[in-house]
Structure 1
Amino acid sequence: MTVTRAEVVAPRGRYPGRVAAKSTYAQASKTLLRNSLLDALRDLLQQRDWSSVTMADVATITGVSRQTVYNEFGSRMGLATAYAMRLVGEFCDVVAAAVRDNVDDLDAALRQGFADFFRWAAADPMIRSLLDGEAKPDLLRLITTDAAPLIDSATDQLTGLLTSSWVQLSTTDAVRIGGAIARMALSYVAMPPQNDRDVAADVAAVIAPAVLAARR
């Protein structure tokens, strides 16, 4: 008889396999709901400014109740924070793709990573909303005084990339350099680079020596 992993890890009971399956379905459903709500926010921000978006708007476009949105994020600021945290993951994916595309070419990987990041950030509707029109203190706090969770998340993900990819840094060096990249990227969100310079090349020229020194 074949024993499934669900049956091995499930608590003792009459139907041992069903508990683990039910938990998995619940987690998948919660993840789907969360992503659907954040996708709805992104769609709304393509049409209007952040200051005009309400929790009820997000609920309506997603097809759920307003209370469901509050249950998931707690507040409008919680919604913005969750959206920003997802952006952090997307940023790290951009950097990871550049590292994969440029094996053993650190300068090219850094230039591509930052160039793609600048293009990606300029296209995101939440970031555009932050930079356009009237000042938005809540969003500004999110990337300045309240930015620690974003920086920590980016640092953790970049540390994993720098230690597991061909870059092959030690964990100590990866944390130090990953944290610097995370903070630098966040600073460019608040003040995007001008078009009169190849800023991606400038940033790569600053970061590359530190990475090379750490690899020796």
Structure 2
Amino acid sequence: MPRTGPRVPYQEAARLLLRTSVLDGMRELLVERDWAKITLGDVATRAGVSRQTLYNEFGSRAGLAQAYALRLADDLVDHVHTAIDGNVGDARAAFREGLAGFFLDAATDPLVQSLLSGEAKLDLLRLITLDAGPLLAHATDRLAGAFENSWVDATRAESEILAQALVRIALSYIPTPPGPGHNAPAELSELLAPYVEAILSAKDRR
């Protein structure tokens, strides 16, 4: 079968596979026990790599935890990006669908569950609160690209405003979810969609 799409360099593909295996292994361990009781050796063994390989890729225990949190942010971007592609011209449906998918996935994540139960240690909680800068910057940049290079066709400045607001609000719901009676995806859609609709309306008037 002929290959389609751009060719991924071998080293990049190998690194992506390594990170996926390690972070999947960490997720499995978090289901079994608290982060405080998981060593880098445990993660390396579960992922089938050496401890030195783990150190080379993530640098430290904190680096591994940050990479896990970054993947949570990537999940948000992927859900919203897919929903944008699947709901051309309908910003409200795109935000509703994308955020609903993200919140559903996040609710089953062991790190998020430990945050909600109050069992998470401060170092993990800080990753999506006080020390969330790298997380926000990474997700905002990726999501801005989705708004800029889709039917939304927003400018880079508009895309960054929208992406940063969505990422900040969505991630803030992780440690402090809304109370009963609130439909977070629908409410956030009502808040964010008018910005996209204004962008589209301005283009129609030109």
Fold shared, TM-score > 0.5 on shorter chain: yes
- CA positional deviation for 1:64: 2.4
3-state SS, counterpart of residue 32 of structure 2:
coil
Alignment of 1:142-161 (within 5 A): 142-161=127-146
Q: How many residues align?
A: 194
Q: Secondary structure at the match of 2:129?
A: coil
Match of 2:182 in 1: 197
CA contact (8 A) 1:110 1:204 kept: yes
Is the counterpart of residue 134 in structure 1 residue 123 in structure 2? no
In 1: Cα distance, 2:128 partner to 2:166 partner? 14
| Alpha-carbon offset, residue 163 of structure 1 | 1.0
- One-letter identity of the residue aligned with 2:186: A
Structure showing greater Rg: 1
Partners of 2:67 and 2:88 in 1: how far apart?
32
Aligned CA RMSD, in angstroms, stands at 1.8
Partner residue in 1 for 2:5:
none
Shift of 1:79: 0.3
**CA distance in structure 1 between the partners assigned to 2:193 and 2:13 by the alignment:** 40
Distance 2:19 2:163 in 1: 27
Query: What amino acid sits opposite 2:82 in the alignment?
Result: A
**One-letter code aligned to 2:46:** I
**SS at the partner of 2:130?**
coil
Q: Could you tell me how far apart the structure 1 residues matched to 2:149 and 2:81 are?
A: 11
Which whole-Å deviations, capped at 9, do the CAs of 1:47-82 have from their partners, x for residues lacking one? 222222211110111222223222221111110101
Report deviation, 1:183: 0.5
> Which residue identity lines up with residue 75 of structure 1 in the other structure?
S
Q: Is the contact made by 1:50 and 1:129 (CA closer than 8 Å) also made in structure 2? A: no
TM-score, with normalisation over the residues of structure 2? Answer: 0.87
Can you give the 5+ residue segments of structure 1 that lack an aligned partner in the other structure?
1-23
Q: Return the alpha-carbon distance in structure 1 between the equivalents of residues 107 and 170 of structure 2.
A: 12
Moved more, 97-106 or 154-163: 97-106
The equivalent of 1:184 in structure 2 is: 169
Amino acid at match of 1:48: R
In the alignment, what sits opposite 1:41? Answer: 26
Aligned residue among 160, 164, 168 for 1:175: 160
The counterpart of 1:59, out of the listed 15, 19, 44, is: 44
Paired-residue identity, %: 50
Structure 1 residue 189 displacement after superposition: 1.3
Are residues 75 and 206 of structure 1, via their aligned partners in 2, closer, same or farther at CA, if it must alter by over 3 Å?
same
Q: Determine helix, strand or coil for the equivalent of 1:211.
A: helix
**Partner of residue 104 from structure 1, selected from 85, 89, 92:** 89
Equivalent in 16, 27, 35 of residue 31 of structure 1: 16
Pairwise CA distance, 1:188: 0.7
Report how far residue 135 of structure 1 moved.
4.3
| Residue number in structure 1 paired with 2:3 | none
Please list every run of 5 or more consecutive structure 2 residues that lacks an aligned counterpart in the other structure.
1-8
Task: Describe the superposition over 1:90-140 as per-residue Cα deviations: whole angstroms up to 9, x where unpaired.
Answer: 211111111122111111111111111111110112211222243411011
Task: Give, in whole Å, the separation in 1 of the partners of 2:77 and 2:158.
Answer: 17
Higher RCO, 1 vs 2 (CA within 8 Å, ≥6 residues apart): 2
Determine helix, strand or coil for the equivalent of 1:190: coil
